Amino acid sequence: MPVYENTKLILEEIGCATLVCVTKTIEPERINEAIRAGAIIIGENRVQEYEDKRDDILPCETHLIGHLQTNKIKKAVDLFDVIQSIDSLKVIRNIDRRARDIDKVQKVYLQVNIGNEPQKYGFGPDELKNAITEIRSLRNVRVEGLMCIPPFVPPEQTRYYFRKMKALFDEMKQENGDNIDIRTLSMGMSGDYRIAIEEGATMVRVGSAIFGKREY
């Protein structure tokens, strides 16, 4: 799979949106091809996988985009520039404590369960404002964005959820102040990133369109 060429094409296509290369199961050599092509952010789903390969990856910004287990919080704060998958107040409080221990202000995004799906992690859309009120008291985290994964539906049907997410993003930006600085809307993946951008995404998370189908 021509990783370098794919990365170039997607960077051109998405214009002003920011690309996160999703590197789950991808070996460092191919990740480095994407970075050489101009990708500046990689997104990993698992803390341990990134730790195992990080020494072989070229310098870049690193985002955790997968579910963060409580026992991995310490390591995640040590390793990642941004944690996109903040799905509960318990998790963000633990992150704040760890960040304080190492004198860091951890950048985070709040994960929104935009379809209110019982099996998915994240804040419900109606829980977000109260969560932000609680988070204001934390000194070692900074909320810089919102992230969502819409329900698993055909790509065109994701438009409804992306539109809802954009409205929520615009509403939550009114809450900015103190450690709340919401300016990134992370939504859209390989199958629907074009629709996500049409509906207001400022960041897309693309893996298979760059690296090809994953082999597990």
Q: What is the pLDDT of residues 53-94, one digit of tens each?
A: 999 999 999 999 999 999 999 999 999 999 999 999 999 999
Q: How far is CA 132 from CA 70, 83, 93, in A?
A: 20, 16, 12
Q: pLDDT-based confidence at 216, cuts 50/70/90?
A: low
Q: What is the average pLDDT score of the chain?
A: 96
Q: How far is CA 105 from CA 22, 100, 135, 189, in A?
A: 24, 7, 13, 28
Would you say the pTM of this structure is higher than 0.85? Answer: yes
pLDDT at 155: 83
215 has a pLDDT exceeding 80: no
Pair of tokens at residue 184 = 């990134």
Give the mean pLDDT of 23-32: 97
Give the mean pLDDT of 25-53: 97
188 has a pLDDT exceeding 70: yes
163 has a pLDDT exceeding 80: yes
